[in-house]
Structure 1
Amino acid sequence: MRPGAGRRGGDGDTAGVTARRPFRALPALLLAGLLALTACSADPQPAPPPDPAPPTEAATTPTRVVAGVDDLGPGFNPHLRSDQSTVTTAIAAMALPSVFRPDAEGVLQLDRTVATDAKVTSQEPFTVSYELDVEAGWSTGAPIAAEDFVYLWQQMRSQPNTIGSAGYREITDVRSRAAGKAVDVVFDEPYPHWKELFTNLLPAHLLKDAPGGWTAPFRGGVPASGGPFRLMQVDRLRGEVLLVRNDPYWDTPAVVDEVILRRIPPNTLPTALESQGIDLALPDARPAVTQALDVLAGSPKPPTVQSGPRPSVQQLSFRTQDGPLADPRVREGVAASLDRDAIRERVSPDSTAVDAFGLAPSDAGYAPTAPDGAPGRPDRAGAEAALTEAGYVRGADGRWSLGGRPLNVVIGAGTERSEDVEIARVVAEQLTAAGIGATVVAPATPDLLTSASVAPTTPTPTSTPAPGAGAAPGGDAPQPTPEQPTPQESTPTTSATPTTTPGDGGSVAVDVLVAPRSAYGAIGPRLVSDYGCPPDDVPDDLPGTSCFPALQPLLDQLLTGPADPAVVAEAERVLWRQLPALPLYQNRGLVISNPQTDASTRVTPGPIATGPMTGAKTWGEPEGSSEAVSTNEAGEPEN
């Protein structure tokens, strides 16, 4: 066991404890020991051993951190676009193992609790070898091993709806050594971004043979933990996720016994912070939150408010394979009919506008790449010219049609993602005003991102409780249950529940997809993952899928070579001309904490990829007790 690994504050299974307790810098038993030493130094005669003191409340009551969040999201697989959320990022940072993790500056560093070594061992073929910590294991008792690498590789290279799949598709083989505790990963050609791979490993021993193992188990939790915390319970009815200290964790255990992620509406945020009902809050920056915080601005101890970028960009993806938007002129006409600034102001006014397909405003070196004339504000003349060139005619009623058939588009947004649904509504309003028919559908987010067509469902302004919705253990892979508002909160106007459109029992293809794209990692893999041609074993008719012969050679250069600015600029130029998507904005997240929390956690927004809960393992430790691990360019630990 490593130094410090014996520190325990109580049993990790504490779901039944409801009283919130403050952090304690010195446990009572340690304090008693210090007093005993002081007494001995003052008395030269040996003192008889004291009677064992009964356990005090300070020594037996678990410590807890409660973090307020906007919502729980549809699921918790960190590799799925449909599951991207603050909660998913937090759970992954606390419960899933990664070979490399970003440091405070965002630079990837080897995590020695998972791998003792990771480096390039061959150039022909290009091979990266990992030596895994022999003690590293899952909370089920199974070792973290080569099979977990194989499973993640196989899923990422073949499943739709993934984040950052391009690098995994460059791998030709994953080989096991040393009874699974050493792994050799072989690539088709030298791959400079290999450190970004094999983050958030998943428990293959539970998932590889389970029906729907890649998605279903994550709708109600995370099946097993390979980190200092494990997900104990998801209660969608109450809007809470409970993580407890992972007792089988092989390295220095977490100090905090419990971390609760609790849904908190903005109007109750001041009361929750002031009464210490929550220790910190992690909402998106938006006017409702800012106005709520104004209530606490004049208090004797106002909360600390920090801001950091979210790890995704909101965008509209166009269906380029078939349908009306298969014609680039129609895509241009639709884009020229939209007011991106107005969409941002309506939905997320505190966000940052995005005018590039690759880099996000949070990236170093970001600059807008939109050329003159690129769609940003409504351009009526440009829209008319593009649609007329495509053969459309605008009638006396202002509607565009081709051969007597009106131009109609279907806009899709995941029903569990309220912000996406609100974007879809605003886009539909703008297109309708421009003479383009628009219908909004809101199916389940995983269905939307993995199916060529979806049920013609429409968003409604209220949610209806689902029978049997409630708490679900994180490891039991329950069926998904929709989130419900707690009794004290008002129902958001942007929430949606699927309802079948009357008179239409068939499915529809989505022409405009509202969904986030990732905003971190090397630019080459990012562009290829988002806009590159799909591999042969991935359907090419899914929403958000595109393939352009003029673009793919540029993306191939960026994937396996350095990020040549000239190649990036040319790729951006092609993307603006072809318009497979239209970037909108990048949200900013807030970290709101009270003075007591600041002293105990030193919480920050954290690296963009892992977020504010990155350092939760060391919360409650004296400052300066954690150690950073650095590696050289080859991935070898530095002396």
Structure 2
Amino acid sequence: MYRSRFRPFPAAALVLVFLSVLTGCTNAPPPPVVSSTTPRPSSEPPTEPPQPRVVVAGVEKLEGGFNPHALADQSQLTDALSELMLPSVFVPGPDGEQVLNTTLMKSAEVVPDTDRFTVRYRIRTDAGWSDGAPIAAEDFVYLWEQMRSQDGVVNPVGYRMISDVRSQQGGKTVLVTFDRPYPGWKSLFDHLLPAHLVKDAPGGWEDTLDDGYPASGGPFAIRQFDLDRGQIVLMRNERYWAEPAKSDRIVVRAADRQANLNALSSGNVQLGMFDPDAETMRALRGLGEDVRLITLPRPLVSTLFLRRSSPQLNDVRVRRAVLAALDRNALVSTGTGGGPDEERRAHAQVLAPSQPGYSATEPAGEFSDSPDPQRVRKLLREAGYEHTDGSWVRDGTPLNLVIAAQFEEDSYEAVANAAADQLAAQDIGATVITPEGDELYRTMLPTDPGRMDPPESAGIDLAVAPRPVSADPASTLAAQWGCPSVDPDTGSTATFGPTGFCDRMLQPTIEAVTTGRIPFARASGRVEPVVWSSALALPLYQETRVLAVRRELRGVEDGPGFATPFSTVGEWIGAPGESYDW
């Protein structure tokens, strides 16, 4: 028995055998020899990603409250953010007339051959909020329900004429039925709100929008909101269905006026928003050609209201005496600080000075621009007052008035204090109070002329407040001077405006102009003289805003009508900025 020993076959021989067998079985040439090479390192640096385009905007204060439909929240910043983020069915066209916003809408038209006036709205199928929810009929329903039921809202008349809002085609078609014809329907459904997020949110209509908007239907959306630091950061809305914004980020920073002027001068801020007085305008003009100034009228007229529902002012002679005691020129100068607002003094009870068709309706000689002590004495004596020990007294009670102005609204407070001083100079006592805006406009000022002031009014006799105007003058007239509507479902009557004015003899005229049966000029010619003679409101000036834009910020254009440059913010091209992982 013996063993055989295995010897390993040399590897080279094995390869030769394999190749010879392969060669014998095919006519294909041998595979090419591939040489391995290592690429040489490039001397060029790697390509850097492009820097984001950033717009930095400066404002004078940043406070909570951004509901564009609430009187208490009217501000430059509310105007800007609502234009950026809240879509409107109609927008001002090049000539200021309302045109369909085709970014949001497919169509909007009056439906023919219906029993009641009906408008059909078709929303684009791709239009949606930044959280992915569609912009749909529920957003129309929510705005309608709030505007017809809430106090202290801007131009609610058209909404209170609506009897039904119905959804069709998955919410992308909306049928709105009115209880009577309404030619001003194009003024409705501006700045829609994301109903799915706000309708059941804590705080309700009053407080839900104190920290901005929970979703955006525009080219930018809020990414960071920090009231303590005074900063809002908006990023490009990646879910925006239309042309994406040309800038990546907008940063809004709050600082005092001088700090904003310095930042504009140095270029740390590309856009500044101001409610300027004469001194600020001089400083802005001193920035030279690097900064362009845009003066924009706001749809608000600063007004001194006299409340007929006040026990002390329910006599028109007393209201006229109060107005005769005032120095109107000085009040305007105080409120405007000599700024551009002063150029738009108001002398009408409906239209604002910048609106088409505006003209003074104030009767000649009815109200003096300076105090008239003799007229004050005459009217108060006719009303039963006697001048005793430096004050006017009736039935043992001195005439002491309460003037309200919204808290931290500097111009309104300044006018209220100036008016109190002017009244005191004519021995009419006056005290100024400054409640919060929601309390003032929602609780304290709404009135019912059928009864004297309720306890929650705090005995307010006069108020310095904004009077809103709209694209539909007939609706403005009805909102300010018409009698309140009655809810057909509940039978309840809406509250009245801040003066408590309701003239049943004028109401048919107001209803006729609202429904288009008579032209506005005819209705105005009948209503405004009565308002003036009733001494219910002293218009002062139309409010304006000034935008200061550095030349490196491109694409900023004046807006038509009451539109702001923020309506075209998608075209803005900001300066290169730092990248952050937001």
Give the TM-score category using the shorter length: 0.7 to 0.9
1:431 is aligned, of 423, 427, 435, to 423
Q: Which amino acid aligns with 1:329?
A: R
Partners of 2:142 and 2:547 in 1: CA distance: 34
**Aligned: 1:256 with 2:247:** yes
| Paired residues for 1:306-325 under 5 Å | 306-325=294-313
Offset at residue 52 of structure 1 (A): 13
Deviations along 1:413-435, one digit per CA (max 9) or x if unpaired, are: 11131221111111111111111
Question: Alignment partner for residue 219 of structure 1, among 210, 216, 220?
Answer: 210
1:334 is aligned to 322
**Alpha-carbon deviation of 1:264?**
4.0
Match of 2:108 in 1: 118
Q: CA separation in 2, counterparts of 1:522 and 1:612?
A: 22
Report if aligned partners of 1:453, 1:508 keep a CA contact under 8 Å in 2.
no
Separation (CA, whole Å) in 2 of partners of 1:555 and 1:53:
73
Amino acid of the structure 2 residue aligned with 1:146: A
User: Once structures 1 and 2 are overlaid, which stretch shifts more, 539-548 or 523-532?
Assistant: 539-548
What is the match of residue 87 of structure 1?
A: 77
Could you tell me how far 1:51 is from its partner in structure 2? 13
Percent identity among equivalent residues?
A: 40
Instruction: For residue 233 of structure 1, give the secondary structure of its aligned residue in structure 2.
Output: strand
User: 1:453–1:167: structure 2 CA closer, same or farther, 3 Å change rule?
Assistant: closer
CA contact (8 A) 1:591 1:605 kept: no
Moved over 6 A (4+): 50-53
Q: Which residue of 2 aligns with 1:569?
A: 525
TM-score (norm 2): 0.83
Q: Go from structure 1 to structure 2 and tell me whether the alpha carbon gap of 1:363 and 1:405 turns closer, same or farther (over 3 Å shift).
A: same
TM-score, normalised relative to structure 1: 0.76
User: How far 1:586 moved relative to its partner?
Assistant: 1.3
Change (3 A) 1:369 1:453: closer
**Cα distance change on mapping 1:535 and 1:289 into 2, 3 Å:** same
Determine the C-alpha separation between the residues in 2 that align with 1:538 and 1:52. Answer: 77
Check conservation: 1:159, 1:538, Cα contact below 8 A: no
What is the CA–CA distance in structure 1 between the aligned matches of 2:528 and 2:44, rounded to whole Å? 71
Q: Quick one: which of 506, 517, 520 aligns to 2:470?
A: 520
Query: Partner amino acid for 2:98?
Result: L
CA deviation vs aligned residue, 1:95-118 (integer Å, no higher than 9, x gap): 001111112322212112221011
Superimposed CA distance per residue, residues 550-581 of structure 1 (whole angstroms, 9 cap, x where no aligned partner): 33222212211153423211111011011222
Query: How far apart, in 2, do the equivalents of 1:586 and 1:421 lie?
Result: 16
Number of the residue aligned with 2:539: 583
Indicate the residue corresponding to 2:278 in structure 1: 287
Equivalent residue letter for 1:334? V
CA distance 1:453–1:590, shift in 2 (3 Å): closer
Residue 140 of structure 2 aligns to a residue whose secondary structure is helix
Q: Secondary structure at the match of 1:150?
A: helix
List runs of 5+ in structure 2 lacking aligned partners: 1-41, 447-454, 487-491, 575-582
Q: Give the partner amino acid of 2:349.
A: F
2:87 corresponds to = 97
Q: 1:395 aligns with which of 388, 391, 394?
A: 388
Inter-CA distance 525–539: structure 2 relative to 1 (3 Å threshold): closer
Q: Distance in 2 between matches of 1:71 and 1:544?
A: 30
Give the drift of 1:589.
2.1
C-alpha distance in structure 1 between counterparts of 2:237 and 2:216, whole Å: 7
How much does 1:138 deviate?
A: 1.3
What CA distance in whole angstroms lies between the structure 2 residues aligned with 1:73 and 1:560? 39
- Residue 176 of structure 1 and its aligned partner are, at CA, apart by 0.7
Question: What residue number does 1:158 align with?
Answer: 149
Cα 1:283–1:563 shift into 2, 3 Å = farther
Residue 318 of structure 1 deviates from its aligned partner by 2.0
Contact 2:310 2:460 (8 Å CA) reproduced = no
Q: Counterparts of 2:392 and 2:457 in 1: how far apart (Å)?
A: 24
Residue type of the alignment partner of 2:386: V
1:35-60 Cα deviation digits (max 9, x unpaired): xxxxxxxxxxxxxxx999955242xx
Q: Is 1:614–2:564 an aligned residue pair? A: no
Corresponding residue pairs, total: 513
- The answer to whether residue 382 in structure 2 is matched with residue 377 in structure 1 is no
Which amino acid in the other structure matches residue 382 of structure 2? E
Mapped partners of 1:127, 1:539: distance in 2: 23
> Following the alignment from structure 1 to structure 2, what is the Cα–Cα distance between the partners of residues 538 and 607?
37
In 1, the alpha carbon distance for the partners of 2:46 and 2:260 equals: 39
CA distance in 1, matches of 2:174, 2:44: 50
Amino acid at match of 1:516: P
2: distance between equivalents of 1:617 and 1:137? 17
Per the TM alignment, residue 373 of structure 1 is displaced from its structure 2 partner at its CA by: 2.9
Structure 1 gaps of 5+ residues are 1-49, 455-504, 622-639
Q: CA deviation at 1:79?
A: 0.4
- Distance in 2, Cα, partners of 1:161 & 1:74: 17
Q: In 2, are the aligned partners of 1:337 and 1:430 still within 8 Å (CA)?
A: yes
- Confirm or deny that 1:206 pairs with 2:197: yes
Matched, 1:133 2:133: no
